[in-house]
Amino acid sequence: MNMFNIAVIGDRDSILCFRAVGVSVFPTTDDEQAKKIFQKLTRDDYAVIFVTEQLAAGLDEQIQKVAFQPLPSVVLIPNSKGSLGFGMGRIREIVKKAVGADILADEEEG
Amino acid sequence: MRLAVNATRMQLLRLRKRLAIVRRGHKLLKDKQDAMMRQFMELVKSVKGMRARVEDQLQAAFQSFLLARSTMPDQLVEEAICMPGMRLSLKVGQRQIMNVRVPVLKPIVEGSIRCYGFVGTSGDLDISLRFLGGVLEQSLKLAEAEKTMQLLADDIEKTRRRVNALEYTLIPDLIETIRYITMKLSEMERSNLSRLMRIKNIIRAEE
């Protein structure tokens, strides 16, 4: 068993606090820069990468690429301004893929 | 579509054997799919709850950190935080669900959260950071569960394709080919029989 690290990518104000609890912090608000950081992190030994939902939209392609590898696990988190609902949306996407129908949508409406 | 094989008794026997094996495989795969689906749905339920909880708590943690920051000068906050006394790393293990390998994350904490002096930092900062630590632990559980869900979903899709390929392509093809060969063989038998009868008649007439 190897040791792996945890990283956070997001805007500075939201994620600065993670530094105090021993997580690597990569502050950025720029999509291009975020892409570079993300790619570097997936090559290094990071097991979990937290990405704020604000940046996740621009990183979609990269995130999909690692989605079906065992590691790393990419988790979308809200930033300090609030949740955009991408995280939940992603769960729904996965369910749709597995079941072949959007069963969660009915649940929420009904 | 009929398979491209010769209409011989030999092929017929082989195809029959193959059909039996394919049917058995199909049943097994279908069972696997059902079992995976059941586990998946359970997982989805828990992940949904977990995510909602983590999102709420992260929000709260951010809020409290912002509040704590606002009570002291920016530079002091940076100083307090920039040399973390706590290091969080992960041990990654493996576990199998229905033959799908999924990672198991085990957080390992070194040092303590509060690494700065008492002077200049507010008590709120301590509280907010401790809270964040708790949230982070939950987030890591969420990371593990979401990854598991994703890998399982991928495998369910693959299995479903296999089941469908067997059920809607291979099995009907085999059945059709078997029927075709049976027909062809009995037709040949009949034609052979009538030929024999005709020849017999000709021979009898000549005598």
Q: What is the dihedral of CA B156, B157, B162, B163, to 10 degrees?
A: 60
Q: How many structural domains compose chain B?
A: 1
Best residue of A15, A41, A48 to probe chain B, by most B CBs closer than 10 Å? A48
With a cut of 90, say whether residue A60 has pLDDT above it: no
Q: Is residue B136 part of a domain?
A: yes
Return the number of CB contacts < 8 Å for A and B.
140
**What domains can be seen in chain A, in order of their start residue?**
5-81 (3.40.50.10580)
Nearest CA in chain B to A53: B55
Give residue A29's identity as a one-letter amino acid code.
Answer: T
Select from B51, B65, B92 the least CA-distant residue to A78. Answer: B51
Q: Considering only A45-59, A72-86, B80-94, which range has the smallest mean pLDDT?
A: B80-94
**What pLDDT sits at residue A109?**
43
Q: Is residue B1 part of a domain?
A: no
Q: Is residue B2 part of a domain?
A: no
In the structure encoding, which two tokens stand for residue A5, read together?
């690290």
Under a CB-based contact definition with an 8 Å cutoff, are residues B36 and B159 in contact?
Answer: yes
Tell which phi-psi region holds residue B99, choosing left (phi > 0), alpha (psi between -120 and 50) or beta: left
Mean pLDDT of B59-84: 79
Q: Compare CB distances from A3 to B47, B81, B91 and report the shortest one's residue.
A: B91
Q: Is residue B25 part of a domain?
A: yes
Q: Per-residue pLDDT tens for B135-144?
A: 888 999 999 9
CA torsion through residues B65, B70, B71, B73, sign: positive
Q: Compare CB distances from A82 to B59, B77, B110 and report the shortest one's residue.
A: B59
Select from A64, A47, A89 the least CA-distant residue to B139. Answer: A47
With a cut of 90, say whether residue B19 has pLDDT above it: yes
Task: Tell me the whole-structure pTM to 2 decimals.
Answer: 0.83
What percent of chain A has pLDDT above 90? 4
Sequence-distant (6+) residues with CB within 8 A of B173 are B1, B2, B3
Nearest CA in chain B to A77: B55
Q: What is the dihedral of CA B201, B204, B206, B207, to 10 degrees?
A: 180
Crossing angle of helices B9-70 and B171-206, rounded to 10°: 170
Q: Per-residue pLDDT tens for B107-153?
A: 888 776 666 666 667 778 888 888 888 888 899 999 999 999 999 99
Mean pLDDT (chain B) is 88
**Residue B64: strand, helix, or coil:** helix
Under a CB-based contact definition with an 8 Å cutoff, are residues B152 and B40 in contact?
Answer: yes
* Rounded Cα gap, residues A28 and B168, in angstroms: 51
With a cut of 90, say whether residue B190 has pLDDT above it: yes
Domain that holds residue B58: 9-202
Instruction: Tell whether ipTM is more than 0.95.
Output: no
Q: Is residue B3 part of a domain?
A: no
Question: Which CATH number goes with the domain that contains B144?
Answer: 1.10.287.3240
Q: Is residue B4 part of a domain?
A: no
Sequence-distant (6+) residues with CB within 8 A of B91 are A1, A2, A3, A4, B105, B106, B107, B108
Crossing angle of helices B9-70 and B123-165, rounded to 10°: 170
Mean pLDDT of A85-108: 77
Under a CB-based contact definition with an 8 Å cutoff, are residues B97 and B39 in contact?
Answer: yes
